[in-house]
Amino acid sequence: MKCFLVAAILTSAVTTAAYSQEVSADLGLGVQAKPTYPGADDSSIAPWFIWRNVSFGADDGSKNGFSLQPSFSMVGDREASDDAALEGLDEIERAYEVGARLNYVNGPVTAYASMRRGFKGHEGLTGEVGMDYRTVLSDRVSLWSGVELGFANSKYTNTYFGVTPDEASRSQYSAYDAGGGLTSAAIKFQAAYAVNDKTALLGEVSYGKLLGDAADSPVVQEEWQPSLKLGVVRRFSFGF
């Protein structure tokens, strides 16, 4: 009986601790103008699904020091009908990426490194390392400027930049095997306007350049890859 009571108390304590945990995230929706496919020389309008700043408990990644957070991303599908340059190439399904992000915050500066594994559209590894500088203009307006390097393994690069012998036989391209490594470098600028404590308007401009085997791919029509994003985000908290 005594053992049962001790077990019950311990179980209750663990359960209470677990239920006191809170998961918070910024979720939102917007529109983006971006290259039609990685390496395209034309842009298209697409939805911008926003999920960022995922945190557990009180750790929202904004305090000085190290923090570890989940990292999510999505890569849109690629179809031959998207661009004449894709004629003869295999279609690629939308990919969902799940991984982790390590942050180091020192005042207005945040350095980060992330890595994710893809599912469905690709099964490779990809991620970024970068640094952001935050400027607070007022209680409602914040600006970020930063630089970022993208990297990936060969499973990822061959999915989006490789050309198989079968694809070469029915397209204008020669077969091409894309190796892993650095894939891009970019400068980014972001602005946020806080409508209230939980809702904000976001804008982001990015100007990137493909690197390495990604840039050398015959599929690539333009190495410079600009994008513009506008959206609305809201902070959600879920208790457990």
186-202 residue pLDDT tens: 999 999 999 999 999 99
With 0.95 as the threshold, say if the pTM is over it.
no
Mean pLDDT computed over 91-114: 97
Q: For residue 105, what are the β-bridge partners?
A: 65, 110
CB-based contacts of 162: which residues, under 8 Å, 6+ apart?
A: 176, 177, 178, 217
159 close to 149: Cβ distance less than 8 angstroms? no
- pLDDT at residue 1 tops 50: no
CB-based contacts of 172: which residues, under 8 Å, 6+ apart?
A: 87, 88
User: Following CA atoms 149, 86, 161, 223 in sequence, which dihedral angle do they give, to the nearest 10 degrees?
Assistant: -40
- pLDDT at residue 68 tops 60: yes
- pLDDT at residue 59 tops 60: no
CATH: 2.30.30, 1.10.1060, 2.40.160, 1.10.3470. Which one for 2-239?
A: 2.40.160
- Report the pLDDT value the prediction gives residue 53, as an integer from 0 to 100: 82
Mean pLDDT computed over 80-97: 96
More confident residue, 238 or 150: 150
Mean pLDDT computed over 60-81: 89
How confident is the model over 4-31, as pLDDT tens digits?
A: 333 433 333 333 334 446 788 899 999 9
The pLDDT-based confidence of 58 (bands split at 50, 70, 90) is low
Please report, rounded to a whole number, the percentage of residues in the chain having pLDDT higher than 70.
88
